[in-house]
Structure 1
Amino acid sequence: MSRLNTPSLDDAPAGARGILDTFDAQFGFVPNMFKTIASNPTVLDAVVTLQGTMSRVLDAKTRHTIALAVSEANGCGYCLAIHTYVSSELGGMSSEDIHLARAGSSVDPKRAAVARFAQQVVESRGRVSDADLAAVRGAGYTDPQILAIVTVAVQALLTNFLNNVNQTDIDIPSAGSIGMPG
């Protein structure tokens, strides 16, 4: 059960309604995470603005891979469920690739390197080794792209932390455990 107040759509603050309507139009429902965050329209705006800005860096499958790898490393069941759903239904990722992303890999060697690197960013709290940087560079990522990878990872961590604090009720198909493909 969620530990923070999750207002109904009718009770959401006026400053959040437009954003919530956008999610409803996109998904056919408003995910509980966004309903909860809507209780503070400024935080909702910050999260949505960051997500919108970061949607312009890297390709969608790489961003989804990072989100899945980070959410697995950080143990966020809600984010794993929503990123699995979005990666599959909107992102065109196969069940195998989603499963591999959660394990820090991918069917694509370049995305496998980014998944491993993103998990290292989380597990080392950003104190990645020279070898970690060399591996992601060796996969073809430039320093500006590495900055984008870290920022996408931090974006995922932000929602991981919000959902882990809240223990947000999962209102989308559960991602299952790492031992079983999504």
Structure 2
Amino acid sequence: MTYRLPSLNSLRAFEAAGRHLSFKTAADELGLTPGAVSQQVKKLEASLGVPLFRRLPQGLLMTAEGEAYLPDVTQVFEDLTRATEAIAPGINSKKFRVGLAPAVRRLLPDAWPQHCETLKHHVRDLVETSDVERVRRNEIDCLIRPGGGPYGALALVILPGGGAGEDLHFICRPGLADCAQSKAILRDLTRQVAAVS
């Protein structure tokens, strides 16, 4: 069977731009320039013969066709990721360098993150810092700190503090918040904060 599909790069650009409604944020995630993402999306629109976005002075707005297309394209990328990791688990084995604010350290076990087998597979080392610029400079993969912001184009996941007090902010580069490493760290942090509450 021959598959008549647009280019994978065009689909990746559309999917990221659709999730963020921003060529700039999509470009940060994909390691491209906003112009390159825009060109890939234009190429996709031309090959489909359908506009996927309305380009407005204040940002992007998806057309009805774009809104209908995005969930299926996202699902395809999730399925490809899952299938690839099933046969080549090492492809997603990059361990994170985690920044941890001193104020958060008291909420976690002394041996964190080495206290749990799961995190041993996802965390390379720990750096004591509250400096979000270290995430921007790629010195650390993520940063866990109490509150703060704004973080600009960086991704943010907020963990409610509950009885432990202030909410925790998990900050990383766009595209990393949904990876296996981030999910494992967030699951463990949620358990730890709940135990302190």
The one of the two structures with greater contact order (alpha-carbon pairs below 8 A, sep at least 6) is: 1
Task: Point out the structure with the larger helix share.
Answer: 1
The structure with more strand, counted as a fraction of residues:
2
TM-score category by the smaller chain? under 0.3
Q: TM-score, normalised by structure 2?
A: 0.25
Question: TM-score, with normalisation over the residues of structure 1?
Answer: 0.26
